Amino acid sequence: MRIRVVFGGSERRLDVEEGEPLALALRGAGIPLRMECGGTGACRTCSVRIGGASILYQGAVLRIPEGDTWSVCSCQTAVAEEGGTVEVPATSLSE
């Protein structure tokens, strides 16, 4: 599935696998996402904002309402639908 990623003043299209934690997809694409707890869901340093798509979170598919964005731990979240936008805030980027 292809998503749009906005970070550090840049924008990219990124292919993600179904069920793949978003944090791993972002890091795999070279985006320097912070993950201080190593992906256990405890630190929230991997927080991103996502909109325009459904997400898979703790085994449930959740639909983000049109025009809304949610802040989620990207290590605990997968994209469940093509076409969403993920914004990585500066506070979630290392350096």
Q: Which of 8, 28, 32, 41 binds ligand FES (CB under 6 A)?
A: 41
Is residue 73 a contact residue for ligand FES (CB under 6 A)? yes
Nearer to ligand FES, 76 or 80 (CB): 76
DSSP strand E in the chain: where? 2-7, 10-15, 47-51, 54-57, 60-63, 69-73, 77-79, 85-88
46 contacts ligand FES (rule: CB under 6 A): yes
41 Cβ contact partners less than 8 Å away, ≥ 6 residues apart = 73, 75, 76
Q: Which of 3, 16, 25, 45 binds ligand FES (CB under 6 A)?
A: 45
**Between 3 and 26, CB nearer to ligand FES:** 26
Q: How many residues bind ligand FES (CB under 6 A)?
A: 13
Cβ burial of 14 (10 Å; 0-12, 13-18, 19+) is middle
Does 14 engage in binding with ligand FES (CB under 6 A)? no
